[in-house]
């Protein structure tokens, strides 16, 4: 009888251990991918059209700092979108294949109601295939699910993989898979990061980025 109880306790322990550790395995997401050359010319800064660049963007010691005020104008005088200060990756727009964005991100305390990363392009009526938003102290895939809590004031590694043919998006935080789901279609895509005002935004929004890389899967 004791041996049977011990056996069941062992099974229970294994089950609980696997449940707790599920989704905590670190993965090298870049295996099978080829890094694409990037330089400052690939980083197009989209900022309020009536504000000088240096008032919404700074690059120093390898860190891109982008900030915006809730009441700022959009990035062009013909746009009806919200205020933003974003890096738009130029030169690697894609319509097929498997592509990956990698960078280290940082969000200071107080920033909320803002998108900090996008996979742009989708079928109408949407504009994006993926969007990561900050609400209060956490990072969300759009508004749900939450993929990282206690986000503020610390660097995190972000990898986003978009498989166009499979219409699949994966989001990794610190090399751990946090989200996998369907994309939104579309015929042309590119990556963006920075700050783009969403609902319930704070007056001041900021994010910082370093070691930005773009990969394409080698087939």
197 and 111 in contact (C-beta within 8 Å)?
no
For tokens 């205020």, what's the residue? Answer: 83
**For residue 55, what is the DSSP state?**
G
Reported as a single tens digit per residue, the pLDDT across 187-217 is: 999 999 999 999 999 999 999 999 999 999 9
The arithmetic mean of pLDDT across residues 145-159, rounded, is 98
Mean pLDDT is lowest, of 14-28, 179-193, 196-210, for 14-28
The token duo for 141 is 């895939």
Q: How many angstroms separate the Cα of 35 from the Cα of each of 66, 84, 103, 174? A: 24, 28, 13, 18
Reported as a single tens digit per residue, the pLDDT across 83-134 is: 999 999 999 999 999 999 999 999 999 999 999 999 999 999 999 999 999 9
The arithmetic mean of pLDDT across residues 160-176, rounded, is 98
pTM: 0.88
Could you give the CA distance from residue 213 to residue 211 in angstroms, rounded to a whole number? 6
- Residue 20: band (very low, low, confident or very high) from pLDDT cuts 50, 70, 90: very low
- Sequence-distant (6+) residues with CB within 8 A of 140 are 132, 133, 134, 146, 147
Quick one: what percent of the chain has pLDDT higher than 90?
87
């Amino acid at each position: 009888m004791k041996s049977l109880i011990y056996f069941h306790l062992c099974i229970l322990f294994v089950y609980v251990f696997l449940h707790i550790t599920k989704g905590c395995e670190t993965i090298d997401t870049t295996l099978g991918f080829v890094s694409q050359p990037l330089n400052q010319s690939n980083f197009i800064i989209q900022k309020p059209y009536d504000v000088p660049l240096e008032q919404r963007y700074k690059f120093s010691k390898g860190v891109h700092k982008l900030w915006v005020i809730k009441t700022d104008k959009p990035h062009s005088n013909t746009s009806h979108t919200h205020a933003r200060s974003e890096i738009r990756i130029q030169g690697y727009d894609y319509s097929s294949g498997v592509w990956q964005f990698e960078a280290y991100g940082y969000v200071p305390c107080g920033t909320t109601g803002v998108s900090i990363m996008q996979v742009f392009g989708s079928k109408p009526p949407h504009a994006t295939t993926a969007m990561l938003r900050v609400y209060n102290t956490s990072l969300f895939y759009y508004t749900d699910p939450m993929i990282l809590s206690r986000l503020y004031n610390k660097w995190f590694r972000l990898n986003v993989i978009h498989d166009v043919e499979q219409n699949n998006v994966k989001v990794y935080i610190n090399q751990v898979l946090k989200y996998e789901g369907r994309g939104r279609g579309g015929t042309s895509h590119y990556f963006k990061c920075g700050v783009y005002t969403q609902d319930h935004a704070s007056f001041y929004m900021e994010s910082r980025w370093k070691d930005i890389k773009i990969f394409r899967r080698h087939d």
